[in-house]
Structure 1
Amino acid sequence: MTLINKMLIVGALALAAGNAAATDGQIIFNGEIIESTCEINTPNREVNVELGSYNRYQFRAAGDRSPKIPFTLPLINCPMTAWEHIDGTKDASFQLWLETRSGGTVVNHPDLAKVSSMTTAADGVGIQIEDAKTQTIIPLNRLATPKISYKITGATMNVDLFAYYVSTEAPADITAGEADAAVDVTLDYR
C-alpha cells in the first residue's frame, strides 16, 4: 500500500470519527401499523356542513359566535380489539386530528379555521369545531391536551360535533364575503 493510500484511509477514518463525535443525541421512532381503522361512511369520505348566512352586525364584539350547527362523522369498519396507546391506556379508542388546509388558521386564533373562497372571502371570522357531548373545543393542527378520546362502541358509530363562526373583530371591521373552509380529518389511534 502506498503512502498516499495510507494517508487517504487515515484521513477518511478521522472524518468518520469526527462525525460520530459531533452527534448530540438520537431520535428513536416507535409506532405500529394496525390491521383496520374506522372509515368515514360518506361519498368521497367528505362531510358537508352548512353553517348558514349571517349579517356581520350579528357579531357585536370579538369572540361572539353564530349558532352551533350539529354535524356527525359517521364511521364504519371500526376495530373492536383494544390496543395500547402512548399514554399507557389500553382500549379501542381514537382522537381526532383536524388539520387545516392551505388557508390555515386565523392569526392569533390557532383553533379557528381561516375562511376562504374562490371569489371574495369574509374577514374577521373563523370557524370553530367542538365535541357535541363535552362541548370541548377541538384544537386544529394538533391533538387535544388533555386528551379527548372517542371510545369505539361498535363497528359502526358516530362522532357528533358542532361547528360555528366566531368573530375575531368588531362588527365594523368584519368584511362580508364567502366564509368557507376545509379541514382534513385523521382518526389518531396513538
Structure 2
Amino acid sequence: MHKLTFSLFILCIVFGFNCLAGQNSTIKVSGVVYVAACRVDPSSVDIPVDMGKHSIYQLKNIGDSTEPVSFSITLRDCPETTHSARVKMDGIADASNNSLFRIDNVADSATGIGVAIYDVTGAILSLASTSAPYNLRKGDNTLSFAANYVVSTLPVTNGVADATVDFTLIYQ
C-alpha cells in the first residue's frame, strides 16, 4: 500500500498534477439590470417634416404662423410595465422668442421666423420643456406632434428654413 501511495506521489510530482491540494477556481457572473422601455422605430430616428413652401407675404407680423404640419414618433415593443412617456425637445432657441427653435444658420437661410412644435394637447414645446404624458399600451404606440413656422422678428426674409430639434423620451 505504501508503494502505491509513494508511486502516485512520484507521478504527481513528475507530471505536475496537483494531487495533494484542491484547486481554486472563480465563477464570474455578469449581466445588466434595466428598466424595460419601448424601442424607437427606425423610421422615427431621423424624422423628416416637410414644412412646404410659404410666401413671406403671409408672414407679415410678429406671431403670424403657417398651418401646422403633423408628424409622429413611433415606438415599438413597449412593455406593459411602461405606462406613459413624456417627450423633451432640445435644440437652439430662436434669439427673439425662446419658445421657438432657431432656423439652422446656413448660407441663404430665412430670417425672422422660428419653428414651433406642439404636443398632442396643442401645447407648445419650447427648448428643454417636456410634453404632456402620452399614455402607452403594451406593443406599438404612435406619439403625435405638429410643427409650424412662426414670425419672431421683422422683417422676414426668404431662404432655406430648416431647423434641427432632438428629442428624448422620458418613460414613466
Length-normalised TM-score, structure 1: 0.67
Confirm or deny: 8 A CA contact 1:98 1:141 kept in the other structure: yes
Distance 1:43 1:143, change over 3 A: closer
Query: Deviation digits for residues 111-159 of structure 1, max 9, x if unmatched?
Result: 2110015422111000001023x21112322335xxx111112320000
Q: 2:122 aligns with which of 108, 112, 135?
A: 135
Q: By how many angstroms is 1:40 displaced?
A: 2.2
2:22 alignment counterpart: none
1:180 maps to amino acid: D
2:107 alignment counterpart: 119
- Name the CA distance, whole Å, in 2 between partners of 1:111 and 1:38: 28
Q: Secondary structure at the match of 1:109?
A: coil
State how many pairs are aligned.
Answer: 140
Q: Superposed, which structure 2 residues align to 1:86-165 within 5 Å?
A: 92-100=83-91, 104-132=92-120, 134-143=121-130, 148-165=132-149
Q: Superposed, which structure 2 residues align to 1:12-31 within 5 Å?
A: none
Confirm or deny: 8 A CA contact 1:94 1:149 kept in the other structure: yes
Q: By how many angstroms is 1:44 displaced?
A: 7.3
- Name the CA distance, whole Å, in 2 between partners of 1:80 and 1:73: 19
1:137 maps to amino acid: I
After the TM superposition, which segments of 4 or more aligned residues of structure 1 sit over 3 Å from their partners? none
1:140 maps to amino acid: L
1:42 alignment counterpart: 42
2:77 alignment counterpart: 77
1:139 maps to amino acid: S
Confirm or deny: 8 A CA contact 2:104 2:164 kept in the other structure: no
Query: Deviation digits for residues 11-47 of structure 1, max 9, x if unmatched?
Result: xxxxxxxxxxxxxxxxxxxxxx843322221347111
Q: By how many angstroms is 1:55 displaced?
A: 1.0
Confirm or deny: 8 A CA contact 1:123 1:174 kept in the other structure: yes
2:21 alignment counterpart: none
Q: By how many angstroms is 1:187 displaced?
A: 0.4
Confirm or deny: 8 A CA contact 1:117 1:178 kept in the other structure: no
Q: By how many angstroms is 1:175 displaced?
A: 1.6
Q: Secondary structure at the match of 1:185?
A: strand
* Aligned residues: CA RMSD: 1.9
1:50 maps to amino acid: D
- Larger of the two Rg values belongs to structure: 2
- Name the CA distance, whole Å, in 2 between partners of 1:110 and 1:39: 31
1:96 maps to amino acid: V
1:85 alignment counterpart: none
2:164 maps to amino acid: A
Distance 1:165 1:116, change over 3 A: same
